[in-house]
Amino acid sequence: MPCRTVAACWEPAVGRPVVIVGDCMLDVDIEGSATRLSPEAPVPVVDAERVWQRPGGAGLAAVLAARGEDDVVLVTAIADDADGRRLADLLASAGVTVVALPMTGTTVCKTRIRAVGQSMLRLDHGDGTVSDGQLPDRAAQVLADARAVCVADYGRGVAAHRGLRRLLERAAERVPLVWDPHPRGAAPVPGCHLVTPNQDEAQGRSAESLRRDWQARAVCVTLSSRGAVLATDADGSVHVPVPAAAAAGSGRSDTCGAGDRFAVAATLALADGHDAEAAVAAAVEAASRFVATGGAVGVSSPTDFGAHSGAMTEPAAIVGDVVEVRDRLRRRSGRLVATGGCFDLLHTGHVRLLHQARQLGDALVVLLNSDSSVRALKGPTRPVMAAADRARVLCALACVDAVVIFDESSPEHQLERLRPDVWVKGGDYTEADLPEAQVVRRHGGEVVLLPTVAGYSSTNLIAAMRS
């Protein structure tokens, strides 16, 4: 979309960091099944099966930004306690550089207990807030170098820090600044390029009235499945709907993190030189796809459940015939997801694909090429690992519920019997490359292509080791 006004557009600054500013917390999801009521009270009993952890608040925004950006810096307050150290490790593993502000109190941790994809209860602990002292020099430096800034305010004091607000005002004069507000947080600094309240945060007010009060160049009020209403200083108000293609998907409704996904997508679009309307359109589509494919659980990391209880010391996944696997998993109910491949030397790209695939449903089956099948596809020197060993490694992953080993070059025959609700492959394929797609669709399933992680390939890893 072309730029409408000079004030709304700028040349993208390549090679400089995207900076996320705001309050960070540790989010925990305990997932399980609920099939009975407690004898002590009429409440459901959740049999916990998996624990997932991820950065929350501004930390989630930073992780989402790092999926598409090489240089993401998070300016936040982190406590030196067990939850804070776990949070720092998760951010580092996602490729996020942290500029830490001093914190008073303990790390805020939000734990959701979920069954069959639905939240049953949330438990919060921690009272950490940013200390209103002098900022580290590094904070001023990264904001001066930023090519775009996103403020994810969660009402814990970072966005209210007086020194930081002065730096943010100066940043808004030079580069795109997007502010995602919070009811308990500070007002956006004047001059923001875009402020993104949801309906509750707007408190019944129009985007235009908020824009005037906040002295912002643009404000969009997000409307969940109905898109967003955008008001700019040049073009008045316009409704930005959700594209039909983005609204389609798994049908799951976990909206956790959708606001962060929206704000980050808008920030990156503005950083690339798009005007406010084009940025909001990109953000509406990105947030809708994010929710349709499972929400924030798609960027969570599994933890050892045994650290939380004595259960599950052995892998819970099953290996067997496709009919056995199908019948056992179907008895659990919910959406059945399947993916397939050789998985000869499991790497980061594989793990991310499997993890994201699991978030599209309630059980994940991996169709694994047998040794003879791998040789037919990859040549006589493959596989490096026998099928039984590859299956054991896959079964040890918390996101895998079952593995089926098959001999054919294509999984079509297995899919005829498995009939999954979703068939997942990496984004290096197209549907034209997948003859099995017709089988999946014939039985009412959908085909989802997930993005791959650049630079990871079993073939390249094996070649490098052999050289």
State mean pLDDT over 371-376: 90
Cα distances (Å, whole numbers) of residue 263 to 219, 248, 280, 319: 12, 21, 9, 42
Q: Which two tokens stand for residue 153?
A: 């305010």
pLDDT of 4 > 50? The answer is no
**Residue bearing the bigger pLDDT, 415 or 345:** 415
State mean pLDDT over 293-317: 52
DSSP string of 93-131?
HTTEEEEEEPEES---EEEEEEETTEEEEEEEE---EE-
Residues near 290 by beta carbon (within 8 Å), at least 6 away in sequence? 257, 258, 261, 298
Helix, strand, or coil (residue 449): strand
What's the pLDDT score for residue 1?
34
Helix, strand, or coil (residue 162): helix
This prediction's pTM: 0.66
Q: Please, are residues 153 and 179 in contact by the beta-carbon 8 Å criterion? A: yes
**Residue bearing the bigger pLDDT, 334 or 223:** 223
Name the average pLDDT for the chain. Answer: 84
Cα distances (Å, whole numbers) of residue 373 to 219, 323, 347, 378: 55, 20, 20, 9
Confidence of residue 456 (pLDDT cuts 50, 70, 90): low
pLDDT of 14 > 60? The answer is no
What's the pLDDT score for residue 300?
65
Confidence of residue 330 (pLDDT cuts 50, 70, 90): confident
Cα distances (Å, whole numbers) of residue 405 to 325, 343, 360, 370, 454: 11, 11, 22, 6, 27
CA 439 vs. chain centroid, Å, equals 29
Domains of the chain in start order, with CATH, are 18-302 (3.40.1190.20), 315-465 (3.40.50.620)
**Residue bearing the bigger pLDDT, 234 or 422:** 422
- 150, 155, 161, 167: CA torsion to nearest 10: 10
Q: Please, are residues 101 and 158 in contact by the beta-carbon 8 Å criterion? A: yes
Q: Which two tokens stand for residue 174?
A: 């030079």
List phi, psi (to 5°) of 339.
-145, 170
What's the pLDDT score for residue 426?
82
pLDDT of 427 > 90? The answer is no
Residues near 365 by beta carbon (within 8 Å), at least 6 away in sequence? 325, 326, 329, 336, 337, 338, 339, 401, 402, 403, 404, 418, 420
pLDDT of 308 > 70? The answer is no
List phi, psi (to 5°) of 365.
-110, 130
State mean pLDDT over 340-366: 88
CA distance 283 to 260: 10
Which of 144-153, 379-388, 453-462 is the least confident region? 453-462
Q: Given the structure tokens 């994809």, which residue do they identify?
A: 117
What's the pLDDT score for residue 297?
63
State mean pLDDT over 63-68: 87
Confidence of residue 44 (pLDDT cuts 50, 70, 90): confident
State mean pLDDT over 25-46: 86
Cα distances (Å, whole numbers) of residue 19 to 7, 22, 144, 171: 21, 10, 10, 11
CA distance 259 to 36: 34
Identified catalytic residue from 29, 83, 260, 421:
260
Confidence of residue 251 (pLDDT cuts 50, 70, 90): very low
pLDDT of 248 > 70? The answer is no
Confidence of residue 344 (pLDDT cuts 50, 70, 90): confident
344 is annotated as an active-site residue: no
Element (H, E) at 202: helix 199-202
What's the pLDDT score for residue 6?
29
pLDDT of 316 > 70? The answer is no
pLDDT of 307 > 50? The answer is no
